[in-house]
Structures are given as structure tokens and as C-alpha cells.
Amino acid sequence: MKEGYEVVAGFMKNYVSEEEECSTRVDRDEAIKVAEFLGIKEFIIFDFREEYNKKIVEYIYE
């Protein structure tokens, strides 16, 4: 940003968890706050839940 680069913030959603200690909602909200603090206007959420489940979770349980 300072050097003229266009900066985009991103959040990877790999799994769904609503447990207080590891809530994806809380993590996302914190990432948005950091982006806002840094002055990053564009924020993209990448949804990798399906890929994560197929390539990681299913692999572990095979």
C-alpha cells in the first residue's frame, strides 16, 4: 500500500466450527478487523471446506 501496491486481505474457511475456542466466525471477524486497521479495503473469503474435507479429513480417516 505504501509502495503503491494493491493489497487484498483474505480468509481461508477450511472447516466449520462454532466451538468457542476455535470458531471460524470469530477468526473471520478478527481477520476483518485487522484488514480494516491496516486500511485494506478488499477482503475475500475463500471457502475451501469441501476440498479440506476431501483431501485432509477423509484421508486421515481412511
If one counts every other C-beta atom within 10 angstroms of the C-beta of residue 35, the result is 19
Question: Picking from 7-11, 17-21, 24-28, 42-46, which range would have the lowest pLDDT averaged per residue?
Answer: 17-21
Q: For the whole prediction, is pTM greater than 0.75?
A: no
In the three-class reduction of DSSP (H, G, I as helix; E, B as strand; rest coil), residue 30 is classed as helix
pLDDT confidence of 1, banded at 50, 70, 90? Answer: low
pLDDT (average), residues 14-40: 86
Confidence band (pLDDT; 50, 70, 90) for 18? low
Q: Which DSSP symbol is given to 53?
A: I
What percent of the chain is modeled with pLDDT above 70?
89
